[in-house]
A = this chain, B = another copy of it.
Amino acid sequence: HRVRKLGSSVSLETAFRWNLDRDAMADLKIKTYYTFAKFPNPMIVEIFAREKGIDLFANEKQVDAPGLENRNAEHLARNPAGQLPYLELEDGTVIAETISICEWLEEVKPEPAFIGSTPEKRAVARMWQRRMEEHFVYPTFYSVRFWTASDDCTGPLKNFFAQRNKILIPGAWKEMQAWALSRLEWLEEVKKGSPSDYIAGDEMTV
């Protein structure tokens, strides 16, 4: 038995634990799941898929993102935004963007629901996902990216995003971080006294 972590091929033992259904997966018509295991975005897609019992690893292709393979001509022809992960379906459809992939997985395998089981539950989950994305996720992302281009960054990530983002604003990284933190403080305030530990509703959602 192989022990595995997110992003490499799956053992039968792990597949059992995650309730992966390889037969059902054939219906999804996924040709290739392009990813890089060490990035944070694929982790969202992979946890989302596994909790649904969807086996993305059967069609997984690891891409050398640190070596910029995801930004070579072959990948850009499929996914011009150059990011990972993305799906290529058997009919040639390419689905990129983490949350769009999750939405598609939810549509082709609705149960268990991690966006929501009714239009209203989905609306509330999407509302909260967006509230946290605009004011927490993006400012956090770009704070880190801008920081790598600043004099404050001296470690291995120095200039990591120089070839990945056309515009980096090193002078703004601390304020972007403050923006992200202010959203967490807002969230704590809004959720004060809430009976639920979840940001959206009282079940696990995207």
Contacts and interface: CB of A to CB of B under 8 A. Distances in A.
Interface of A: 80-81, 89, 91, 93-97, 99-101, 103-104, 107-108, 119-120, 122-124, 126-127, 130-131, 134, 138-139, 166-167, 169, 171-172, 175-176, 178-179, 182, 186, 190
A123 B138 contact: no
B167 A120 contact: no
Contacts of A126: 97, 99-100, 103
Contacts of A97: 126-127, 130-131
A182 B166 contact: yes
A104 B119 contact: yes
A27 to B, nearest CB: 12
Q: What number of copies of this chain does the assembly contain?
A: 2
Contact of A91 (B120, B122, B172, B186): B120
A57 to B, nearest CB: 20
Contacts of A190: 80
B182 A131 contact: no
22 contacts: A80-B190, A91-B120, A93-B120, A95-B120, A95-B123, A95-B127, A97-B130, A97-B131, A99-B130, A100-B123, A100-B127, A103-B123, A107-B119, A107-B122, A134-B138, A139-B167, A166-B179, A166-B186, A167-B175, A167-B179, A172-B172, A172-B175
